[in-house]
Amino acid sequence: MADHEIVRRLHAAQTLARDGGQLALRQFRDHEKLEVRSKGVQNITSQADEAVEALIRERLAALFPEDGFFGEETGAANAEGGVRGIWVVDPIDGTDCFVNGIPVWSVSVAFVLGGEIEIGVVYDPNAEEMFVARRGHGAHVNGRPIKPSPATSFRDGVVCVGYSTRREPGPTLDVLGRLLHEGGMFQRNGSAALALSYIASGRYIGYFEHHINSWDCLAGLALIREAGGWTSDFLDGDGLRRGNALAASAPGLAAAMKDLTGVE
């Protein structure tokens, strides 16, 4: 794909993440009126999730009809035939926080081309922060370059740990136990996309989740890699469609994170 076509998509990703985030923010501020429904254990959605995904999906279809789309709420469209690339979107990453009035959620937009994450955008409307990465061009927040923590020990900061009921709790509990024994500390913030953005910008030092979906993490992975951090090979074994285990960290903790989690 020509450079100018990637740049076009990069600009579109930022605009759509911001527009979607502002739409969600208006509903978040009146969250008591949200209509919430369950899609299963630890899996809820609201009309805000659906409205934001519809906005992003429809605009992308108009701008780039040759591209595929893979979203949390509406699934895949032209995902196999998206020969020019696939957009992977989570309209509101952190819906549990969103529907309960907790301002820890984000809009995540990634563009995958030829098995590589070319673009990653994570927008936090509550903090007015736009995290942006393009493969080979670095990572930024609100236009400022970002880099991971200089941490070399789990004692040097906070590791974010996610959990999904799609897997048994044993591996997660094992990682938590070993992390604590090494003098580390953990947090679960509710939005994997934001947590990964925080690794890229030096706020967290690591992340682990035994199973996570691609829409939750691809944009964040692009940010970490472009900022100079380490991530596991999430897309291995059809992680795009089936999800995968995920580990990520500041560069000085890569070996320790692999050893702690068993994720390469």
Q: What's the CATH number where 116 sits?
A: 3.30.540.10
Q: How many domains does the chain have?
A: 2
What pLDDT, in 10s, does the model give residues 195-242? 999 999 999 999 999 999 999 999 999 999 999 999 999 999 999 999
What letter would DSSP give residue 156?
G
For the ranges 36-40, 179-183, 244-248, which has the lowest average pLDDT?
Answer: 36-40
- Asked if residue 189 and residue 126 are part of one domain, the reply reads no
Of the three residues 145, 175, 210, the one that is the final residue of a domain is 145
In whole angstroms, give the CA distance from residue 159 to residue 204: 6
- Asked if residue 26 and residue 137 are part of one domain, the reply reads yes
In whole angstroms, give the CA distance from residue 142 to residue 206: 22
- Asked if residue 220 and residue 140 are part of one domain, the reply reads no
Q: Does the structure show a pLDDT above 70 at 3?
A: yes
Domain that holds residue 206: 154-261
Of the three residues 111, 145, 179, the one that is the final residue of a domain is 145
| Pair 196, 93: CB distance under 8 Å | no
> What confidence category does residue 129 fall into, taking pLDDT thresholds of 50, 70 and 90?
very high
The residue-averaged pLDDT of 127-137 equals: 98
Name the one residue in this structure whose structure tokens are 């992003």. Answer: 56
- Asked if residue 201 and residue 88 are part of one domain, the reply reads no
Q: Does the structure show a pLDDT above 90 at 137?
A: yes
In whole angstroms, give the CA distance from residue 112 to residue 131: 17
Which residue type sits at 187?
Q
- Asked if residue 139 and residue 14 are part of one domain, the reply reads yes
Of the three residues 145, 175, 202, the one that is the final residue of a domain is 145
> What confidence category does residue 103 fall into, taking pLDDT thresholds of 50, 70 and 90?
very high
Radius of gyration of the chain (CA): 17
- Asked if residue 174 and residue 120 are part of one domain, the reply reads no
What pLDDT, in 10s, does the model give residues 24-39? 999 999 877 777 776 5
What is the chain's mean pLDDT, rounded?
93
The residue-averaged pLDDT of 66-95 equals: 83
CATH code, 195: 3.40.190.80
- Asked if residue 167 and residue 127 are part of one domain, the reply reads no
Q: Six-digit token pair at 10?
A: 């990069």
Q: Six-digit token pair at 127?
A: 């903090």
- Asked if residue 174 and residue 92 are part of one domain, the reply reads no
Q: Which of 28-42, 62-76, 157-171: highest mean pLDDT? A: 157-171
> What confidence category does residue 170 fall into, taking pLDDT thresholds of 50, 70 and 90?
very high
The residue-averaged pLDDT of 144-161 equals: 98
- Asked if residue 128 and residue 24 are part of one domain, the reply reads yes
Q: Does the structure show a pLDDT above 90 at 80?
A: no
Burial zone of 146 (CB within 10 Å; 0-12 exposed, 13-18 middle, 19+ buried): buried
β strands within 96-251, DSSP E = 106-113, 116-124, 129-134, 139-141, 144-145, 158-161, 185-187, 206-212, 230-231, 244-249
- Asked if residue 97 and residue 192 are part of one domain, the reply reads no
69: left (phi over 0), alpha (psi -120 to 50) or beta: beta
| Pair 24, 125: CB distance under 8 Å | yes
Q: Does the structure show a pLDDT above 50 at 82?
A: no
Total count of residues recorded for the chain: 264
| Pair 217, 160: CB distance under 8 Å | no
- Asked if residue 95 and residue 10 are part of one domain, the reply reads yes
Q: Six-digit token pair at 1?
A: 């794909």
In whole angstroms, give the CA distance from residue 199 to residue 217: 12
Q: Nearest-CA neighbor of 86 among 109, 107, 102?
A: 109
The residue-averaged pLDDT of 147-153 equals: 98
- Asked if residue 112 and residue 21 are part of one domain, the reply reads yes
The residue-averaged pLDDT of 255-263 equals: 98
Which pairing describes strands 129-134 and 116-124: parallel, antiparallel, or unpaired? antiparallel
